[in-house]
Chains A and B, each alone.
Chain A
Amino acid sequence: MQTAAVRIPGRIENILSWKEQGGGIAAVFPIHYPRELLRAFGYLPVEVWGPPVVESVSSAAHVQPYVCSIVRNGLSFLQSGGLELADILLVPHACDSLQGLGSLLLDFIHPRQPTLTLYLPRGRRESDLSFLAQELHALYRRLAEIHGDSPTEPELMSSIRREEAADASLAQLHRQRSRLPLSDLAFYQLIRSREYLPAERFSQLASEALDQAGPITERGIPLLLSGIVPEPMALLNLIPELGGWVAADDLASCGRRLYPAGTSQDPFLRMAERIIHAPPDPTRGSSIESRHQHLLSLAAESGARGVVFHDVKFCEPELFDLPDLRRQLAESGLPSLLLEVDLNDPLSHQLHTRLQAFLEMIV
């Protein structure tokens, strides 16, 4: 399989270039947040999903070992100076552990940068939409206090449209993946560059990649990858090595963040609509049935023959749904495999064997 023919700038290179242009950096913890709001204030969001393989000793002074490695590593990374280039920190509420992280930063750790939080409602009701719009307005006011200036409504709308365009390109990449001359690893390196590239730069890269789309090519046993984040990324080399390929995903860092365009002309409502109407996600309170239907639909569209749940250890939002979800998928003729990982651990031989056996079973 070919690898990306597009050059993806690295995180540091991108951050330094942004700062040279006078922009600020917002280090953002998982999962959902309004990129457009940060950008409207001149902050480039750079996401902190772990990162993997970090010396986690420093976070051990603040959080217990039964907290997931995304939180432990993120905190260690911050404390070891990994986020020194960031001007602000944003910790959206996704689960009890990330809630704890936000609270710890505010109450005890007091990082150099201002820490902002954002509560995301757990439903899709009118009241959820209205609350989220107001919560985003509160975040806007807080950013204005820090920044000393605030974007006008037209500037906000322009920022929203720029992100909507980038998200449309991202969705297009997901849909066209079987036509792209990209390995699994290259594909995920490309779409995960959305975690740190400016929207316009990402849209440009996506367009370059989409220009290379050709006919659908057979590349192995199609799989649907579900979970939080595809780390360690070595997994994306292992899957093709064992004869599979990732045909679609339901990952919190990727497929669950295919935000649709909003419809409201009120910028805050529009940003809220985009998050509320994103694909099902347990951290936003989606029902097991809605997740089941979503996975079935992804499998039908992509031809996936099985689902690999690739979850980070101690992740309650993921773990609660799995027994019912897997049983229902099996009843719908879609077998599944559960792999649990810690971001600091390499892929184990046991994981290798289990994945191999699963692929042999569904071939």
Chain B
Amino acid sequence: MNIGKELNYQWQVNVLGRSALRLNRILMARKAGKGQLGKSRLLTPPLNTSIWTKELIGQHYLRGRYANSHGKVAWVTSGAPIEFLKALDFYLLYPENHGALCGAARAAEGLSIEAEKAGYSRDICSYARTDIGAMLSGKTPVGRLPKPDLLLACTNICQTVLHWYRVLAHHFQVPLILIDTPFIYTEMTDHAVAFVKAQLEEAIIVAEKVAGKPLDPRRFKEVTRLSMLASELWLELLRRNRHRPAPISVFDQFTQMAPIVEMRGEASTVDLYAAMLKEVDQRIEQGIGVVPEERLRLLWDNLPVWYRLRYLAEFLGAHGAVIVASTYTNAWAELGPQMDPEHPMESMARTYMYPILNRGTGEKLATMRQMIQDYHLDGAILHSDRSCKPYSVGQMDQRDRLMRQDDLPALLLEADHNDPRSYSEEQVANRLTAFMEMLEAA
């Protein structure tokens, strides 16, 4: 270890950075106390714990900025089994989350253009274009991204990541671990589970080599336990929206979900969600909902439209409509009950084959139907996301079944999760207006 670099890391991250982020948290808390945080006449103020989330995410990217001088770095996909990497003390960067952050910060279009200038087609995923653009240009709203020593791609969310991470491996010339999770058309077969387990065993050997140390089984179990706890708390948090009025909108969940995705396996994530759950419970006790008068409760399917979260929340809020459940935020909540810290390898294989995107289109409809029942929903908005084929293919039939068999109004909304060039506000507004009129008339 280079002592000078390590001292610089500690100074920048744990002294200067931490103090700056804490100061920012205090200032924001003061603002929240005066009712000036996220001021909107249509929506209730965001959760106070959202300030904490922001601080955690800030710390995460701050650590990332100096991570190469401190230890080993792995870039991983959002649904990857990261517990063994965490236990080996890798700093984990999630390019998809970084892509989402760029989308919310309205930086994705410019970065996509950087990728397109290098020859990447506009027909590939906009997360991938955003991150490849950041990789090629060195531009990012978070200052600087650390270079990876290792890549981990898991196909449980899409095949896109397989191709995307091949590009990253080619660019950075570092080992790529592939965890190939066979798609579950009808049932999870034993040979598929054995296949994923065998890959995890092979992956640990590669990761240990890059980390330069063996995996400590106790630490592995502990990280798995923390992942499970965070996921279970996240599930509880989402379930609180079964109450009327719903205490936290899905648009808020989209921003509050960052730690469950990119900081799984950390104690601070468990603490954050425990505090958030407490605050949500207080809101329920006080009868505080997302909008002053909740009239319509809706489902959101697919990724968010990152660059128009607030617009969409307020547009719906103006009609007393709240998105209270989402198949997307639920994806990380479903992981917890599958995990078993006492048998991390076995449970990991099953857990990471289980995400909604690795199961059939009929399974997604079943999940939606369960949510409609559990959350007492009046309608569904299915975001047909040009950039995400595995999430979007099937939506036309799912919508058709919801409308015909469940008598539930459902709208297919054309957009793209990160590229505003594939989003037409006028068309979206027209379609949403008509949908609201239909729901209000029902």
Interface residues in chain A, defined as those with a beta carbon under 8 Å from any beta carbon in chain B: 61-64, 66-67, 93, 95-97, 99-104, 106-109, 117, 119, 121-123, 125, 127-128, 130-131, 134-135, 138, 282-283, 285, 287-289, 313-314, 316-317, 319-324, 326-327
Contacts and interface: CB of A to CB of B under 8 A. Distances in A.
Contact of A62 (B128, B180, B185, B396): B396
A130 B183 CA distance: 17
Contacts of B163: 282, 316-317, 320-321
B58 interface: no
> Which of the four size classes fits the interface of chain B?
35 or more
B167 interface: yes
Interface in B388-408: 389-390, 392-397, 401
B437 interface: no
B192 A119 contact: yes
B71 interface: no
Interface in B184-216: 185-186, 189, 191-192, 194-195, 198-199, 202
B384 A64 contact: yes
Given A127-B198, A138-B189, A319 B121 contact: yes
A127 B362 contact: no
A127 B195 contact: yes
Interface of A (DSSP majority class): helix
Interface pairs A-B: 6 shortest CB-CB: A100-B393, A107-B362, A323-B119, A320-B163, A134-B191, A131-B195
A330 B386 CA distance: 31
A103 B389 contact: no
Interface of B: 118-121, 123-125, 128, 155, 158-160, 162-164, 166-167, 169-171, 178, 180, 182-183, 185-186, 189, 191-192, 194-195, 198-199, 202, 360-363, 365, 384, 386, 389-390, 392-397, 401
B166 A63 contact: no
A136 to B, nearest CB: 10
B262 to A, nearest CB: 23
Contacts of A103: 183, 185, 360-362, 393-394
A316 to B, nearest CB: 5
A313 B397 CA distance: 23
A337 to B, nearest CB: 13
B123 A287 contact: no
B192 A314 contact: no
A109 B400 CA distance: 12
A138 B191 contact: yes
A206 to B, nearest CB: 33
B196 to A, nearest CB: 9
Contacts of B125: 316
A131 B120 contact: no
A316 B170 contact: no
A326 B189 CA distance: 40
A14 B10 CA distance: 73
Contact of A67 (B180, B183, B389, B401): B389
